[in-house]
Chains A and B, each alone.
Chain A
Amino acid sequence: AQSVSQHNHHVILSEAASLELGCNYSYGGTVNLFWYVQYPGQHLQLLLKYFSGDPLVKGIKGFEAEFIKSKFSFNLRKPSVQWSDTAEYFCAVNSGGSNYKLTFGKGTLLTVNP
């Protein structure tokens, strides 16, 4: 069964600091990987996704993530965070070729102080 672990429960940064949120998954086959963001009181929105090809993917709002197959990791990065990035961030995985089950990590709350 696939599973996702996010290492950081709560990250607190000041504006302009760099961000890296860890995500590791366990699944032996082909995977599709996603990062979603949930702003306070809102629904989940897709930040970026990886299916195949270049392991460094760029998403919206200056976020990027790198897929490292050997480490089963898909860490999210942003060089300079803003106060408006304060939100809950979820890593998710589903097995390639089928979307019947999207498994989420437990989420990381990012608080950016102005």
Chain B
Amino acid sequence: DTAVSQTPKYLVTQMGNDKSIKCEQNLGHDTMYWYKQDSKKFLKIMFSYNNKELIINETVPNRFSPKSPDKAHLNLHINSLELGDSAVYFCASSQREGGTEAFFGQGTRLTVV
């Protein structure tokens, strides 16, 4: 009954590879996000989607391409991985209106070698 689930939890890959991270929420929320947490624990928003529509793209390199097949899913595809992409990626969801809190997934620790 996990509210926001991401897979995989750990991902180790070589530079130049392409990889995807999947995210699903069963909360019925309209809005989903991807956040990147760097080695200093700083959390920075990457993308925000509302009802499958891209709302925010925070100057993320276009090697990162989010895809939302429906409002319960927001996947993240990364092309040509670089060392600097190593981080923990968190998916989250929230209701659009009313300022409700965001619920976070467990995170995906991506290590690029």
Residues of A at the B interface (CB closer than 8 Å) are 32, 34, 36, 38, 42-46, 49, 51, 88, 90, 94, 96-104, 106-107, 109
Contacts and interface: CB of A to CB of B under 8 A. Distances in A.
Contact of B43 (A45, A96, A100, A107): A107
B66 interface: no
Nearest to A103: B45
Given A51-B98, A99-B95, 15 more contacts: A32-B99, A34-B101, A38-B41, A44-B92, A46-B101, A46-B103, A49-B101, A94-B99, A98-B97, A99-B96, A99-B102, A100-B31, A100-B56, A102-B45, A106-B42
Interface stretch (B14-22, B76-84, B104-112): B104-112
B107 A102 contact: no
Interface residues of B, number: 28
B50 A100 contact: yes
Contact of B40 (A36, A90, A106): A106
Contacts of B39: none
A38 B105 CA distance: 12
A109 B94 CA distance: 25
A107 B43 CA distance: 9
Nearest to B103: A46
Nearest to B49: A100
B25 interface: no
Given A42-B106, A43-B105, A100 B48 contact: yes
6 contacts: A46-B101, A99-B95, A100-B48, A101-B45, A103-B45, A104-B44
Contact of A101 (B42, B48, B98): B48
Contact of A106 (B41, B48, B104): B41
Given A98-B96, A99-B31, A104 B43 contact: yes
